Amino acid sequence: MNESRLEQRIRAAMAKGRKALIPFLPAGYPDLERFWDELAALDAGGADIIEIGVPFSDPVADGPVVERASLHCLELGVSLAWIIAELKKRRASIGAEIVLMGYMNPFLQYGFERLAADAADAGVAGLIIPDLPYEEAMDVKRTLGARGIDLVYLVGLNTEGERLAMYAADAAGFAYFVSVLGTTGVRETLPEEITAKLAAAKKTFRVPLALGFGIKTPEQLAAYGDDLDAVVFGSALIRHIEEGGTAAEFMRRWA
């Protein structure tokens, strides 16, 4: 089996002695034009993988910042078809790997066979579907895998023992460790129990481990050392742009 592009990319960052950077931005945010400029800025600013959010009307795993941004993008007319078509036009100029993150229903309506083909064609390396747990994931994972697209699993503070092992045995690309028992959104402090749980996950997973939800600054990660291979940040980036900032400035904190 070919090694996953997502995994390769994270391992390349690790080889340089740093954590891979994975910014998240909802497609079409803050507007349809500027989104692609900010995406280019994330890429130029050192992103290893970029998660493009596919907006959904009912994002249950998200807090208010991502939800507000997603609903705003829906009002602007963003659809999965638009994302894939526009990405395809620009893919050659983007160095980072691209992951689509979104809820099950818009993907399902597009159709997974068609999605796998079109997304592969647009240069997408992975999908993250927060409302698709292991029990429901098999068919989707196979369909995407046939086109070289990884379905990235999420696990969390309450994924233990057998469930953690079950995810680890089947993981592709990287494992996305959710830092809180909660939704996306910036948090000043992360739960203390992360340290031990991350260490356990690191021992269990063969693929690299990314931490996400609530991450704002590199300082928050100091405690986790080598148990962490990559970091995902979304709400903090959206808030920065909401307050008039740019992706380029935001990435300077991290690079």
Partner 1 sequence: MKKGYYGTFGGQFVPELLMPPLIELEKAYRDILPSKPFQDELGALLRDYVGRPSPLYRCPNLSRRLGFDLWLKREDLNHSGAHKINNTMGQGLLTRHMGKRVLLAETGAGQHGVATATAAAMLGLDCVVYMGAVDVHRQSLNVKRMELMGATVHPVESGTKTLKDATNAALRHWIAEQRDTHYCIGSVVGPHPFPALVRDLQAVISKEARAQFLEATGALPDYVVACCGGGSNAMGAFHHFIPDASVKLVAVEAGGSGEPGCHHSAAIGKGTPGVLHGMHTELIQTADGQIEPSHSIAAGLDYPGVGPEHAWLAESGRAHYGLVHDADALDAFKVLSREEGIIPALESSHALAWVLRHHDEIPAGATVMVCLSGRGDKDLDIMQEMGLL
Residue 157, number of CB atoms within 10 A of its CB: 18
DSSP state of 223: G
- Quote the least distance from Cβ 153 to partner 1, whole Å: 8
Considering the complex, state which of residue 40 and residue 207 has its C-beta at the smaller distance from partner 1: 207
Q: Find the distance separating the first CA and the last CA of the chain, reported in whole Å.
A: 32
Which lies closer to partner 1 via its Cβ, residue 45 or residue 63?
A: 63
Instruction: Give me the residues that bind partner 1 (CB under 8 A), please.
Output: 56-61, 63-64, 67-68, 71, 74, 79-81, 103-110, 130-136, 153-160, 163, 167, 178, 180-183
CA distance 44 to 137: 33
CB of 217 to partner 1, least distance (A): 23
51 flagged as catalytic: yes
Active-site option among 7, 38, 48, 51: 51
In the set 62, 86, 97, 227, the catalytic residue is 62
Instruction: Decide if 62 is catalytic.
Output: yes
CB nearer to partner 1: give 165 or 181.
Answer: 181
> How far is residue 131's CA from residue 199's CA, in Å, rounded to a whole number?
25
3-state secondary structure 135-183: HHHHHHHHHHHCCCCEEEEEECCCCCHHHHHHHHHHCCCCEEEECCCCC
Q: Which is nearer to partner 1, 13 or 171 (CB)?
A: 171
Catalytic residues: 51, 62
